Chain A
Amino acid sequence: MEFVQIALLLVQMVCAVLALTSRDLMVAVILFAAFSFCSALLFAMMGAVDVGFTEAIIGTATTLFYVAVIYRVERRSSA
């Protein structure tokens, strides 16, 4: 169980760094969704099933909002 948690935390770190440095906004949003899902799994593993459930649903909702906004703005980030 410890090993799985450490692996999930490493995946979270990689996802966060890649999402921050990515030039494509859609890639950043999908990586952020992966980050959110990993943290939902971590919450559920640590016994906080309610928090993990909320995190999964809200991660989905924010991903939907970001995708809807990306269709209205430039997909490539300039800076």
Chain B
Amino acid sequence: MRKSFGSIILNVAFRHLTPFLMLYGVYVLVHGHYGPGGGFQAGALLGLAVVLVQMVQGTRAEWRIGVSGGIILACLGALIYLAIGLAPFIWGGNFLDYGVLPIAATPAEARALGILGIETGVTMGVMGVIIVMFDLLTRDNGEREE
């Protein structure tokens, strides 16, 4: 987005608000086992944090991930999901059956860690897709991203 519509008030407000938004996104991700939340919501929150910074500061934004960066992020998330999902095949389990993974003492702990890995992949995918959607909607005609 070439022309930002941020004033000095919006700029200062989002400079203080965005770190807490990203921290809340990470909290929603890692606390998804125990309360409401999970990978999709955390990814939407983290993507919104990046998109808000781009909206307020325009092309001067520090966290400018861009279309190709967003696509790489989303595909990396899908790759993490697939890798963690396929890993139990090596130890004789089924797809997404993390209980057999030798990463923790008990199968319950291994399942919790596996779900956290899966949710991390989902978070990266959703965050990348939201950033790509916003960049494609707001870029100028004829402008080439990266």
On A, residues with C-beta under 8 Å from B are 49-50, 53-54, 57-58, 60-61, 64-65, 68-69, 71-72
Contact = CB atoms under 8 A, between A and B. Distances in A.
B41 interface: yes
A58 B133 contact: no
Interface residues of B, number: 19
B136 to A, nearest CB: 10
B5 to A, nearest CB: 7
B69 interface: no
A54 B137 contact: no
B40 interface: yes
Contacts of A58: 44
A53 B137 contact: no
B137 A57 contact: no
Q: Is the interface of A mostly helix, strand, loop or mixed?
A: helix
Interface in B124-146: 130, 133-134, 137-138
A50 B133 CA distance: 24
A49 B36 contact: yes
B31 to A, nearest CB: 12
Given A65-B137, A71-B138, A72-B137, 8 more contacts: A53-B41, A54-B40, A54-B41, A57-B44, A57-B48, A61-B48, A61-B130, A65-B134
Contacts of B137: 65, 68-69, 72
Nearest to A53: B36
A65 B47 CA distance: 12
Nearest to B48: A61
Contact of A53 (B37, B47, B51, B134): B37
B133 to A, nearest CB: 7
B134 A50 contact: no
The 9 A-B pairs of least Cβ separation, nearest first, read A50-B36, A49-B36, A57-B44, A68-B138, A53-B36, A57-B41, A68-B137, A69-B137, A54-B41
